[in-house]
Amino acid sequence: MNTASRYDKLFEPVPIGPVRAPNRFYQVPHCSGMGFGMPRTLAAMRAVKAEGGWGVVNTEYCSIHPTSDDTPNPHASLWDEGDLSNLALLAEQVHEHGSLAGVQLWHGGSSTSNLASRMAPLGVDSLPVGRDTVQSKKMTKRDIRALRQWQVDAARRAMRAGFDIIYVYATHDYLLHQFLSPDYNTRRDEYGGSLENRVRLVREMIEDTRDAVGHKCAVAVRFSADSGTSPDGCLADDEHRDMIAMLADLPDLWNVNIRDYNREMGSSRFYQEAALESYVSYVKQVTGKPVVGVGRFTSPDTMLRMVEQGVLDLIGAARPSIADPFLPEKIRTGRVDEIRECIGCNVCYASDYKGVPIRCTQNPTIGEEWRRGWHPENVPPRESDQPVLIVGAGPAGLEAALVLGKRGYPVILADGADGPGGRLNLECRLPGLSEYARVRDYRVGRLASMANVDLYMNNYLTPEDILETGYPRVIVATGSRWRTNGMGRYFSRPLAGYEGANLVGPDDLMRDVDVDGRVVLFDDEHNYMGTVLAELLARKGCSVTYVTTEAKAGAWSELTQEQERAQRGLLEMGVEIVTCHAVTAVDAEYATLSCIYTGRTRTVPVDAFVPVTSREPDDRLYLSLRSDEAALERAGIHKLLRIGDCHNPGIIAAAVHAGHRAGREIDSPERELPDYRRDRVVIGETADY
Ligand code: ADP
Ligand code: SF4
């Protein structure tokens, strides 16, 4: 059996109520950071997934009424005819590729503050909303009747917009979940108390939606398979089992998740593929309707196992479909080794949290489909035969080489190290970060098949070497090094106070420099590096004091759903966590910690000190070349770019994006204005901006 036919089962059509999914690849609803404000950007992003073979493509959470307004987090909406018209574009573009379009109708209840609409949040009871200073209104029966009508109205709009699958969204702590859960629901009427009463509203919403659109559209329910009482899987007496059994065949499709969002959206640092299996595997036994679930599936063998063992009917994916919109197509055509596997870094999630269009470490084209016209698989052909020299084979250099190689340019990729990967080679050896190697391995694998790209490792290049090569175009991607002088967010210039310390920089630590005894780690960077290195030190047996200027360990990693697990893990390993302090001085024996509010200091004994504050761009090569334009001209170098961390250090996703852009735009003049279309309303214009 060849690779493609081995996975035939994944390509069987699946009937879902009155519609039929063309295969088992199901892009579950996921945030995009675009919401109702960027309809063209959104439609193009979803359409590429349909083109890549996802048989069903869903929207993100789509509000049914202004009482469910999550601003400033971008979300879809179906409040009126304008929303209908904008979302119709998405449905139409998804249909063009033969896929089904689904819409996740949603009411946030007392999870949304309604900051833009300024309407009162609604709740099963009156509760504080998020971190805002507002409480929800306890819903009356009249409010419940209104809610049901909003769902019906939105469902009808969705049907008219062309959607095939309409959701009732009953999980993730939003309104319907609040009715289901005894943690929230204290009502004494027919919507509270017994299981049957708490399930009543969800039942009514399913029935209402079916009455409204069920002759034409499938009705899906998103529901938690467990109530969150066990960390290892769904318990036999979990009441969510009973709830699903009570509603068993009422919807056309069960889209199941779990209560613990940290696991469901788990980063690869803590959770591997198929992490939800033990929670959701019973669902197919209690319903005859198709079941879809997620598990950051990137392996076709795992997907096949899910179907063959009766765990799932449809392979749900958000992140794997973001990292590789063409994953299904690559399996279908026997190109499994070309799959760009998600690394589980959750940068995609962080961008939505920040309210900006989605980005991805592995897929630099996501979010750029409409505004820059980028496609995840296709690049424009080369415009000349001029070769390109790339210096530095980190994420930026590798991606630039990949794009240029695909375009057909002759490319030399040189690096002073003994293997490609740059920072990835160090980071993927840290606790929990092994999947980061996929960023390197995918690109190195693809480059190996390109006769026009040559890799020269152990080739440290000086400016003189480069001038001698005679390559007309040079891309410098030489990366950055962690600073050890304290410079970062808190200290904006180098600090003299660390000079007497036994300093161990993050780069040294990642290169296995010996450290033992009492170690103070100062995290002023706030992403994963500080907490990961603290974990590494604790595993080595060091007695670790982790100091941060923030109020939490690895505060930025809250955006990637890692913070809570990281801090808990450190505490469980005996790491002392000191928050809201800076390390102002360190000598051979003591570190001085200073409160960021009062300036009060205290000292702790120290054998080694690890500052994780910021990185120094390694721009020496670029600046040296740039400093002599006449020499560049004599050498025939007419294009000199620097990209990635040597330009401005950032997350890996930023370096990959910079590499991709350089590869696509090598022939373009450098511009000062944004070189992309902006998805916005222009008064008095009908042009396609
Ligand atoms: P980025 O994230 O921007 O891709 P990295 O730090 O991951 O940057 O990678 C930079 C790479 O550049 C490293 O592998 C490093 O060995 C290489 N490098 C730096 N300077 C030179 C040089 N002068 N010649 C060749 N390779 C270099
Ligand atoms: Fe996966 Fe990271 Fe891309 Fe998200 S950003 S899809 S977690 S690789």
397 lines ligand 1 (CB under 6 A): yes
- Atom 5 in ligand 2: which residue has the minimum CA distance? 360
Q: Ligand 1, from 389, 478, 622, 647: best to mutate by most atoms within 8 Å of Cβ? A: 478
Are 413 and 476 spatial neighbours (Cβ–Cβ below 8 Å)?
no
- Atom 13 in ligand 1: which residue has the minimum CA distance? 422
> Distance between CA atoms of 403 and 375, rounded to whole angstroms?
11
| Residues with active-site annotation | 174
Q: Please tell me the predicted confidence (pLDDT) of residue 672.
A: 63
Are 80 and 65 spatial neighbours (Cβ–Cβ below 8 Å)?
no
Phi and psi for 165 in degrees, rounded to 5? -125, 130
Q: Please tell me the predicted confidence (pLDDT) of residue 20.
A: 98
56-63 and 137-138 as β-strands: parallel, antiparallel, unpaired? unpaired
> Distance between CA atoms of 444 and 453, rounded to whole angstroms?
11
Q: Which of 542, 543, 545, 567 is nearest to 554 (CA)?
A: 567
Angle made by CA atoms 126, 132, 136, in degrees to the nearest 5: 20
- Atom 1 in ligand 2: which residue has the minimum CA distance? 342
Which ligand ends up closest to the CA of 397? 1
Q: Which residues of the chain have pLDDT under 50?
A: 689
- Atom 11 in ligand 1: which residue has the minimum CA distance? 392
Which atom of ligand 2 lies at the shortest distance from residue 346's CA?
A: 7
Which atom of ligand 2 lies at the shortest distance from residue 359's CA?
A: 5
> Tens digit of pLDDT for each residue in 89-141?
999 999 999 999 999 999 999 999 999 999 999 999 999 998 899 999 999 99
Residue indicated by tokens 């998600």: 342
Which ligand ends up closest to the CA of 340? 2
DSSP letter string over 634-663?
HHT--EEEE-GGGTS---HHHHHHHHHHHH
Q: Please tell me the predicted confidence (pLDDT) of residue 231.
A: 87
Q: Please tell me the predicted confidence (pLDDT) of residue 184.
A: 93
415 lines ligand 1 (CB under 6 A): yes
The binding-site residues of ligand 2, defined as CB within 6 angstroms of any ligand atom, are 319, 322-323, 342-348, 360-362
- Burial label for 11, CB within 10 Å (0-12, 13-18, 19+), is middle
- Atom 26 in ligand 1: which residue has the minimum CA distance? 415
Ligand 2 centre distance from Cα of residue 375 (Å): 17
Which ligand ends up closest to the CA of 361? 2
Q: Please tell me the predicted confidence (pLDDT) of residue 689.
A: 47
Q: Which of 584, 548, 541, 583 is nearest to 563 (CA)?
A: 548
120 lines ligand 1 (CB under 6 A): no
Which atom of ligand 2 lies at the shortest distance from residue 349's CA?
A: 4
Angle made by CA atoms 366, 368, 370, in degrees to the nearest 5: 120
What is the widest separation between alpha-carbon atoms in the chain? Answer: 85
> Distance between CA atoms of 273 and 258, rounded to whole angstroms?
15
Reported residue count of the chain is: 689
> Distance between CA atoms of 491 and 498, rounded to whole angstroms?
12
Angle between helices 39-51 and 81-95 (to 10 degrees): 20
Q: Please tell me the predicted confidence (pLDDT) of residue 668.
A: 87
